[in-house]
Amino acid sequence: MEEVLAYDVPVTRLAFRVGYLGDRFAGSQMQPGERTVEGEFVAACVRTGLFSHHREARFLAAGRTDRGVHARGQVFSFSTPYPDRAVAALNWQLPPDLWVTGAAIVGDGFHPRYQARCRTYRYYFTEPYLDSGVMDHAARAFEGVHDFSAFARVEGGKDPVREVFSARVFHESDLPVLEVRAESFLWHMVRYMAAALFTVGQGSAGSRSVSDRLAGLTGPALSPAPPAGLILWDVDVGVTFSAIPLDDRTSRFLDGQWQHHRLMQRVCEAVREDRPRGTGEWNHEAW
């Protein structure tokens, strides 16, 4: 849909479905002197000539992710006089750890954050031995409307009440996965939920510990689970995206990351096997 900016150039407002690996970014939001997802995305748009400044283009995101958090279905939106160029060229201008998988023409007033009807996160646990059955049972307590003060870092003035549409734990490739859906989340909310379910899965907390915390009962202190396992899986903004294929460079990068981490898993297993034999205390006099 075309609109006219102050300088009388007809532009089209676009929405993009965006993915990234978060371990090399200082979060998604633009920060001076830091490598961020939005910063790299806007820089690619400027290089491609899609706009000269992100404010002029009304660049907007569906939400923020913290340092180290990944995304499969983040949504960015901006206005440009060159929609065809944006779709054709962005993946070639973006760094290989940031890519677009879909695009759509949207209305002039489209705002991905305010029009998000549902956000889905997945948290991948690294411990295959966790009891996903009891974790799934405990996760159901998150569903519905609750005060999530015990499962988040609540910023001043923020309403801690949220409605969780669904929460479940299942196995994927032999690893337990938490999937949670809600319209919006508090800061670190999913990571605190994952941390609580981890204690349930390893047996150090009972399956009722989640519902007890939601009811305001105190328990052992929780820290948010590490960010590396968290993926912003999907944001439903009521838009149907046309698919954009990954460029070869990003595909090679992702394949290389998979191979590297698979190799490093085996390397770590190998070096851990080389442990000192025997018993007894450390004898400093022998050195």
Strands 10-20 and 2-4: antiparallel
Strands 161-172 and 144-147: antiparallel
18-19-21 Cα angle (round to 5): 150
Amino acid at the residue 147? D
Nearest to 244 by CA among 13, 87, 48, 79: 87
Q: Which helix (H) or strand (E) holds 11?
A: strand 10-20
* d(C-alpha 198, C-alpha 176), whole Å: 10
Q: How many residues does the chain have?
A: 287
Q: Which residues contact 273 (CB under 8 A, 6 or more apart)?
A: none
DSSP string, 209-272: HHHHHHTT---S---PPPGGGEEEEEEE-S-PPEE-PPPHHHHHHHHHHHHHHHHHHHHHHHHH
Asked whether 26 and 35 are in contact (CB, 8 A), the reply is yes
Q: Which helix (H) or strand (E) holds 40?
A: helix 37-47
66 annotated active-site: yes
Determine which one of 8, 23, 66, 84 is catalytic: 66
* d(C-alpha 195, C-alpha 97), whole Å: 27
* d(C-alpha 104, C-alpha 67), whole Å: 28
Which sequence positions are flagged as catalytic?
Answer: 66
